Structure 1
Amino acid sequence: MTDAQDTPRGTLSVQMYTFRNAHPADPSATIAQVAGIGFKYIEPFGIGNRQQVPNARMATAAATRRALDDHGLRVSSVHSAAPYGPETEAILDELELIGANLAFASWSGEVHGFDRDALSTLGSTQRFADAMNEAAQNASRRGIRIGYHNHFWEWNTLENGHSAYETLLNLLDPAVFLEMDTYWVRTAGQNPVELLERFGDRVLALHIKDGPATQEGDQVPLGGGVVDYRAALLAAPSAQWHVLEMDRSAGDVFADVEQSAKRLIEEGLSSWE
């Protein structure tokens, strides 16, 4: 076991996208099952979903908040549309209702007016950074922090000779934080440890998962794949949140997540609180 005195432990959370097959049928029961594993925090997704009108989204957020209160859970962070554009205030209302003070755009399409190609050129990356910076200013008025969550496609090379991800970070205001998905970093052919050591205290949360580090391969409990999760966690002492997630799994995702969580606890890398 790792010496806890030498380990920068973060608090465990779990991205609810992991349970997207169970959650729609019975959200409260899904949250209860997550609480039964031992989690004290979750990371909801779909906040600010533009496929729903604001009133419907607020009703969903209220139901989620009731379920969290019923089962003694809180929100670590959320995946949300950025509070930018015509629905800024509605998105912020939703974040406040669910109890979030840290929200990550889970991909560039969560920012009004942008899609997956947002980081395809230097000019579009600049415009995207400007939008994220404005979103952070909007959120700060309500005491909410904003950040960006990566996938694997942000490492295309731009006209300046640098990756879109590195370029974006240089353009973002320091008030825009990072949730680094170590699995997708590895899938992009990058070294998560090197990136974490470079970006330091801008990283407030990590997505931790394991598997073959391919775009389509099934993910597995920690320790069963090619991602050095331990090295990543040790390289990110500023990451308050260690968020487990499985984008796809051939097994029982509840059992897989429980196995990963217990491994992190037993190794002294993470804590429930």
Structure 2
Amino acid sequence: MTDSQTTPRGTLSVQMYTFRDAQQADPTATVARVAGIGFRYVEPFGIGSSRQTPAARMATATTLRRDLGDHGLGLSSVHAAAPYGPQADAILDELDLIGAKLAVVSWPGEVHGFERDALSTLDGTRRFAGAMNEAARNASARGIRLGYHNHWWEWDTLENGQAAYDTLLGLLDPQVFTEVDIYWARTAGQDPAELLQRLGDRTLALHVKDGPATPEADQVPLGGGVVDYRAAILAAPSAKWHVLEMDRSAGDVFADVEQSARRLVEEGLSSWEG
């Protein structure tokens, strides 16, 4: 048990991508089941998706806001397309509708004109950072703060001899926060705790998950893999939000996430309420 008097506890949330299959089948029932586990906050995904028209997205956002309110759920943050390019205002309208204050770009393809390989060259990284900074300014004008969520490929080395992730953060406005996925950082060969210590108070949220730290493998409840999630959480006192996520699971993903959540609460690392 962690000493709860000396540990700054974060607030639990869950990335709804974890339950994407159930959500596609019955969005309202999925929200109800997540609330039944004990979560008071969630992190939706797909806001501003290019796969839907703006009108369809607003209808989806309206339903989501209703379902969250009906089950007493708030937002920690959202994964969203960056408010940049021709759809910037429509994306911001959607973020406003659901009441988002922290919007996270989950991969480069969520920024208009970019794909996963955006950070594979120094020039691409510079252009991507410029787009993110413009998106951050657009978001700020609506009272929303923009962040970036890592995977593992951001630690490829660029022509300047630095990792793309380090280069990107050096080019981004300091107001662009980090949501550090400790599992993907570990997959990239990083020590998540050391990374978070370097980032300091720029990190506002963590994606907390465990497994063998390989890109395609099933993930497991916390404590069953190679990720030292305790050290990572303790290294990031600025991260108010401890967002659980499982990209893939061989078991019942609802049960797996509940097991991880209760473990964090029992260890005094996280709490259900903010």
Same fold (TM over 0.5): yes
Identify the residue that residue 240 of structure 1 maps to in structure 2. 240
Question: SS at the partner of 1:104?
Answer: strand
Identify the residue that residue 36 of structure 1 maps to in structure 2. 36
How far apart are the structure 1 equivalents of 2:206 and 2:70?
27
Identify the residue that residue 81 of structure 2 maps to in structure 1. 81
Identify the residue that residue 49 of structure 1 maps to in structure 2. 49
Moved over 3 A (4+): none
How far has the Cα of 1:51 moved from its partner?
Answer: 1.0
Identify the residue that residue 252 of structure 2 maps to in structure 1. 252
Q: After superposition, give the CA deviation of every residue in 1:201-223 in whole Å (9 maximum; x if it has no partner).
A: 11000000000000111100000
Identify the residue that residue 135 of structure 1 maps to in structure 2. 135
Segments of 5+ residues of structure 1 without an aligned counterpart are none
Q: After superposition, give the CA deviation of every residue in 1:113-171 in whole Å (9 maximum; x if it has no partner).
A: 00001001111101100100100100001000000000000011001100000000000
Alignment-mate amino acid for residue 215 of structure 1? P
How far apart are the structure 2 equivalents of 1:187 and 1:68?
33
Alpha-carbon RMSD across the aligned residues, in angstroms, is: 0.5
Identify the residue that residue 167 of structure 2 maps to in structure 1. 167
Identify the residue that residue 59 of structure 1 maps to in structure 2. 59
Identify the residue that residue 215 of structure 2 maps to in structure 1. 215
Question: SS at the partner of 1:146?
Answer: strand
How far apart are the structure 1 equivalents of 2:210 and 2:120?
27
How far apart are the structure 2 equivalents of 1:92 and 1:106?
16
How far apart are the structure 2 equivalents of 1:33 and 1:99?
22
How far apart are the structure 1 equivalents of 2:26 and 2:159?
48
Q: After superposition, give the CA deviation of every residue in 1:10-69 in whole Å (9 maximum; x if it has no partner).
A: 100000000011001111110110000100000000000001100000000000000000
Contact 1:13 1:243 in 2 (8 A): yes
Question: SS at the partner of 2:157?
Answer: coil
1:13-32 matches, cutoff 5 A: 13-32=13-32
How far apart are the structure 2 equivalents of 1:141 and 1:172?
17
Identify the residue that residue 267 of structure 1 maps to in structure 2. 267
Q: After superposition, give the CA deviation of every residue in 1:68-112 in whole Å (9 maximum; x if it has no partner).
A: 000000111000000000000100000111111000000000000
Contact 1:81 1:91 in 2 (8 A): yes
Alignment-mate amino acid for residue 201 of structure 1? D
TM-score by length of 1: 0.99
Question: SS at the partner of 1:103?
Answer: strand
How far apart are the structure 2 equivalents of 1:109 and 1:121?
15
Identify the residue that residue 96 of structure 1 maps to in structure 2. 96
Question: SS at the partner of 1:5?
Answer: coil
Alignment-mate amino acid for residue 139 of structure 1? A
Identify the residue that residue 12 of structure 2 maps to in structure 1. 12
How far has the Cα of 1:175 moved from its partner?
Answer: 1.1
How far has the Cα of 1:8 moved from its partner?
Answer: 1.4
Segments of 5+ residues of structure 2 without an aligned counterpart are none
Alignment-mate amino acid for residue 30 of structure 1? T
Contact 1:74 1:99 in 2 (8 A): no
Alignment-mate amino acid for residue 205 of structure 2? A
1:110-189 matches, cutoff 5 A: 110-189=110-189
Q: Report how many residues are paired.
A: 273
How far has the Cα of 1:249 moved from its partner?
Answer: 0.2
How far apart are the structure 1 equivalents of 2:250 and 2:12?
23
How far apart are the structure 2 equivalents of 1:175 and 1:198?
16
Question: SS at the partner of 2:189?
Answer: coil
How far apart are the structure 1 equivalents of 2:134 and 2:10?
29
Question: SS at the partner of 1:261?
Answer: helix
Alignment-mate amino acid for residue 112 of structure 1? H
Contact 1:148 1:179 in 2 (8 A): yes
Alignment-mate amino acid for residue 4 of structure 2? A
How far apart are the structure 2 equivalents of 1:80 and 1:116?
15
Identity of aligned residues (%): 77
